[in-house]
Amino acid sequence: MPTFIGFNTQQQYKKFTLVDKALIRQDLLNAFNIRQGQLPGRPDFGTRIWDFLFENIGDELTNLINREVQRTAALDPRLQINNVYYYTRDNGILLEIELQYVTSLDSERLAIFFDQETRTATYL
């Protein structure tokens, strides 16, 4: 029996219900696709990573991205970020995130690409 049940219409054609890990992954991606401050009534929701796309690469930027990923993920109590790896790729930023689901002992490594041309974050 699923612990978490949610609804998703993005890239879904027949089955709109998501459960457990799939729902948590989709919610995390949704948080990364929203710029911080754009959600009415929730100024802390979303991420500032989109502001870092055109910045020079350095230790300071890497620390800012790591803190921003940790802050964004901390908004969801169902997951915990263990490590964040950051790469520049094509026209954007590629993040590899090691996360652990709080409801189980399972962990997973996700690759999320922030594309500056389409202004969307997607899983690879």
Structure token pair of residue 55 = 């910045």
**Residue 30: pLDDT above 80?**
yes
Residue 26 domain boundaries: 5-123
> Mind listing the pLDDT tens digit for each residue in 63-84?
999 999 999 999 888 889 999 9
Report pTM.
0.83
Domains in the chain, number: 1
Q: Please report the sign of the dihedral spanned by the C-alpha atoms of residue 69, residue 70, residue 74, residue 77.
A: positive
**What DSSP string runs through 3-17?**
S-EEE--TT-SS--E
CA dist., res. 105 & res. 116, Å (int): 34
- Residue 109 maps to which CATH number? 3.10.450.40
